[in-house]
Amino acid sequence: MSLIVDAGIGRPSHAIAVMELGFDAVLLDTAVAGAGDPAAMAAAFAAAIAAGKQAFDAGVLEPRDMAVPSTPVIGKAVFT
Protein backbone atom coordinates (compact mmCIF):
# COMPACT_ATOMS: atom_id res chain seq x y z
CA MET A 1 0.00 0.00 0.00
CA SER A 2 1.36 3.43 -0.91
CA LEU A 3 0.95 6.50 1.28
CA ILE A 4 0.68 9.72 -0.74
CA VAL A 5 0.26 13.18 0.77
CA ASP A 6 -2.07 15.60 -1.00
CA ALA A 7 -2.59 18.32 1.58
CA GLY A 8 -1.67 21.63 0.04
CA ILE A 9 2.10 21.25 0.22
CA GLY A 10 3.40 24.76 -0.45
CA ARG A 11 7.18 24.67 -0.07
CA PRO A 12 9.95 22.22 -0.88
CA SER A 13 10.77 22.10 2.85
CA HIS A 14 7.25 20.77 3.49
CA ALA A 15 7.91 17.97 1.00
CA ILE A 16 11.15 17.08 2.78
CA ALA A 17 9.29 16.80 6.10
CA VAL A 18 6.64 14.55 4.54
CA MET A 19 9.21 12.23 2.99
CA GLU A 20 11.25 12.10 6.23
CA LEU A 21 8.11 10.74 7.92
CA GLY A 22 8.14 7.78 5.53
CA PHE A 23 5.46 8.65 3.01
CA ASP A 24 5.86 7.28 -0.51
CA ALA A 25 5.02 10.37 -2.55
CA VAL A 26 3.79 13.95 -2.56
CA LEU A 27 1.09 15.16 -4.94
CA LEU A 28 1.80 18.70 -6.18
CA ASP A 29 -0.06 21.23 -8.29
CA THR A 30 -0.63 24.74 -6.99
CA ALA A 31 2.85 25.16 -5.47
CA VAL A 32 4.44 24.49 -8.86
CA ALA A 33 1.82 25.99 -11.17
CA GLY A 34 1.58 29.19 -9.12
CA ALA A 35 5.34 29.79 -8.87
CA GLY A 36 7.05 32.58 -10.76
CA ASP A 37 9.18 29.95 -12.51
CA PRO A 38 7.25 26.66 -12.49
CA ALA A 39 10.09 24.65 -14.04
CA ALA A 40 12.54 25.82 -11.37
CA MET A 41 10.00 25.15 -8.60
CA ALA A 42 9.35 21.64 -9.96
CA ALA A 43 13.10 20.99 -9.91
CA ALA A 44 13.30 22.27 -6.33
CA PHE A 45 10.49 19.95 -5.25
CA ALA A 46 12.10 17.00 -7.04
CA ALA A 47 15.37 17.60 -5.19
CA ALA A 48 13.54 18.08 -1.87
CA ILE A 49 11.55 14.87 -2.27
CA ALA A 50 14.70 12.93 -3.13
CA ALA A 51 16.51 14.39 -0.10
CA GLY A 52 13.64 13.58 2.26
CA LYS A 53 13.42 10.01 0.98
CA GLN A 54 17.17 9.55 1.28
CA ALA A 55 17.08 10.88 4.87
CA PHE A 56 14.25 8.50 5.79
CA ASP A 57 16.09 5.54 4.28
CA ALA A 58 19.29 6.52 6.12
CA GLY A 59 17.49 6.60 9.47
CA VAL A 60 16.57 10.07 10.73
CA LEU A 61 17.22 10.62 14.45
CA GLU A 62 14.17 10.66 16.67
CA PRO A 63 13.40 13.94 18.46
CA ARG A 64 14.64 14.15 22.05
CA ASP A 65 13.39 16.06 25.06
CA MET A 66 16.87 17.34 25.91
CA ALA A 67 20.23 17.73 24.23
CA VAL A 68 22.66 14.83 24.31
CA PRO A 69 26.31 15.57 23.44
CA SER A 70 27.61 13.59 20.50
CA THR A 71 31.23 14.39 21.34
CA PRO A 72 32.88 12.71 24.33
CA VAL A 73 33.44 15.18 27.16
CA ILE A 74 34.93 12.93 29.84
CA GLY A 75 38.65 13.54 30.26
CA LYS A 76 38.61 16.68 28.08
CA ALA A 77 39.77 20.10 29.21
CA VAL A 78 37.06 22.53 30.20
CA PHE A 79 37.59 26.17 29.31
CA THR A 80 35.59 28.69 31.31
pTM of the model: 0.75
Q: Mind listing the pLDDT tens digit for each residue in 2-57? A: 888 887 888 999 999 999 999 999 998 888 888 999 999 999 999 999 999 999 99
Distance from C-alpha of 80 to C-alpha of 66, rounded to nearest angstrom: 23
Averaged pLDDT for residues 51-75: 84
Cα angle vertex 5, ends 13, 56, to 5°?
Answer: 60
Tell me the one-letter amino acid at 35.
A
pLDDT of residue 69: 74
